[in-house]
């Protein structure tokens, strides 16, 4: 019986992927509607992130007594990736509830709504990467063969954020207290994740970073952005997270997707 439900779920996911015209167009529309009737439109995302990065760089280069050339690209690359991952988790908690109206009107696999939100977050991430690219040129970040790893790294990140959105979207539709708990955990994780500071600064407590899945999700993208090889450990951990995460999502979806419409 469980295998039957799992087969139905994976078939629903495949059907949802085939609705790509829907979730891509609505992901773009979500971004456009957020900034409609503004002069810069979605490029407010780039400007806002750029100003935030400039302010943080000014403060932390003085606080840590490090050169801007070494620190600013590191900070901005890590911060943009963190915002994508954490934003996907936090928004994923409300994905199914926010799209309840569409679910009641149209019969589509729930994964479509997760793909829509994940794609919208990826568009925001792409806007923020413009700032990373500009700073990479300004601070002469070396361009190496490892820089090309940015593309598969972002794809791997998308695969992980998709299961995170779908998994938490289903759970939070059933258990409405979970979004507050998850948001609190993500905020706490930010404090122990090397975004503003370097992993090596932990000294003998470096295991705090090595056992932190957020660090590995960030590092596989940040390292290639800086022209460096991503740590092998980070690549393995992120791949393992994807495998385990999608398995948990499959089990959860097989049990919950059919009842989802009653909860939203």
DSSP per-residue codes, 100-119: HHHHHHS---THHHHHHHHH
Residue-wise pLDDT for 89-136, tens only, equals 998 899 998 888 888 887 788 899 999 999 999 988 988 888 888 888
Q: For residue 216, what pLDDT is reported?
A: 94
In the chain, the largest separation of any two C-alpha atoms, in whole Å, equals 61
Burial group, residue 113, by CB count within 10 angstroms (0-12, 13-18, 19+): buried
233-240 mean pLDDT: 94
257: which 2 tokens? 């997707």
Higher-confidence residue of 60 and 117: namely 117
Higher-confidence residue of 7 and 1: namely 7
- Rg of the chain's alpha carbons, rounded to an integer? 19
CA dihedral 59, 42, 184, 211 (to 10 degrees): -70
68-77 mean pLDDT: 86
Q: For residue 23, what pLDDT is reported?
A: 86
Segment (H or E) for 156: helix 150-174
Higher-confidence residue of 119 and 47: namely 119
60-80 mean pLDDT: 83
Measured at the alpha carbon of residue 188, what is the angle toward residues 174 and 50, in degrees to the nearest 5?
100
Confidence of residue 207 (pLDDT cuts 50, 70, 90): confident
Q: For residue 6, what pLDDT is reported?
A: 64
236: which 2 tokens? 């393995």
Q: How many domains does the chain have?
A: 1
Distances (CA, A) of 226 to 70, 102, 134, 223: 10, 41, 13, 5
> Model pTM?
0.89
Distances (CA, A) of 173 to 83, 241, 255, 264: 23, 23, 13, 6
Does the CA dihedral 244-248-251-253 come out positive or negative?
A: negative
Question: What are phi and psi for residue 143, nearest 5 degrees?
Answer: -100, 115
Q: How far apart are CA 258 and CA 9, in angstroms?
A: 9
242-253 mean pLDDT: 94
Confidence of residue 159 (pLDDT cuts 50, 70, 90): very high
Q: How far apart are CA 248 and CA 168, in angstroms?
A: 11
Domain that holds residue 167: 2-263
Residue-wise pLDDT for 3-41, tens only, equals 555 676 877 788 888 878 888 888 888 888 877 776 666
187-204 mean pLDDT: 85
Q: For residue 1, what pLDDT is reported?
A: 44
Q: For residue 3, what pLDDT is reported?
A: 55
């Amino acid at each position: 019986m469980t295998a039957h439900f799992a087969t139905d779920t994976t078939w629903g996911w495949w059907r949802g992927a085939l609705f790509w015209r829907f979730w891509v167009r609505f992901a773009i529309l979500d971004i456009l509607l957020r900034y409609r009737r503004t002069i810069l439109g979605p490029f407010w995302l780039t400007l806002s992130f750029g100003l935030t990065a400039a302010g943080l760089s000014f403060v932390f280069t003085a606080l840590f007594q490090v050169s801007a050339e070494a620190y600013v690209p590191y900070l901005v690359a890590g911060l943009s990736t963190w915002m994508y991952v954490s934003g996907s988790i936090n928004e994923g908690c409300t994905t199914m509830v926010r799209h309840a109206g569409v679910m009641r009107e149209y019969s589509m696999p729930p994964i479509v709504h997760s793909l829509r939100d994940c794609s919208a977050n990826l568009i925001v991430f792409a806007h923020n990467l413009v700032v990373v690219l500009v700073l990479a040129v300004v601070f002469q970040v070396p361009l190496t063969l490892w820089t090309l790893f940015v593309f598969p790294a972002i794809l791997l990140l998308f695969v992980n954020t998709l299961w995170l959105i779908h998994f938490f979207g289903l759970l939070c539709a059933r258990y409405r207290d979970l979004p507050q708990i998850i948001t609190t955990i993500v905020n706490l994780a930010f404090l122990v994740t090397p975004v503003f500071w370097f992993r090596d600064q932990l000294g003998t407590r470096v295991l705090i970073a090595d056992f932190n899945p957020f660090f590995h999700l960030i590092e596989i993208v940040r390292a290639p952005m800086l022209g460096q090889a991503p740590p092998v450990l980070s690549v393995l951990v992120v791949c393992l997270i994807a495998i385990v995460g999608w398995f948990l999502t499959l089990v959860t979806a097989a049990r919950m997707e059919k009842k989802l419409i009653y909860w939203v």
